[in-house]
Structure 1
């Protein structure tokens, strides 16, 4: 195997590892979101409304950061 072949192989392995790590992170975030929603749902209505509003604001801010290339 030549140096170029090895470099391409290492690049593919690294890229696959990055994608797998990202998928695990996204799954953990989704689990955290579901848990948070379940907790909010267990609250009395006035608290639920306030907590869902806060969650909305946080998710909107995250989406806007993504739209502008921030992380």
Structure 2
């Protein structure tokens, strides 16, 4: 039998890395948020997308975004 690294040695099924699980959950969360924004009336979408972009930028920069908004 060939062990291709996809299954653990215990026979419990696929082994999933914690980082992969977190990334998948994050992907699902962002897709869900985008879907919610797209369901809004057209006039409300731009501000909602801007808020989402600000949140993502703050997350990527490792801040909560407050320092940038306050002008510091």
- TM-score normalised to structure 1 length: 0.61
Q: Matched residue pairs, number?
A: 49
List 4+ stretches of structure 1 deviating above 2 A.
none
Once the two structures are superposed, the pairs formed by residues 33-44 of structure 1 within 5 Å of their partners are: 33-44=30-41
Once the two structures are superposed, the pairs formed by residues 23-62 of structure 1 within 5 Å of their partners are: 23-62=20-59
RMSD, aligned α-carbons: 2.0
Matches of 1:32 and 1:65 in 2, distance apart? 18
Q: Which has the higher helix share?
A: 1
- TM-score normalised to structure 2 length: 0.61
- List alignment gaps of at least 5 residues for structure 1: 1-16, 67-71
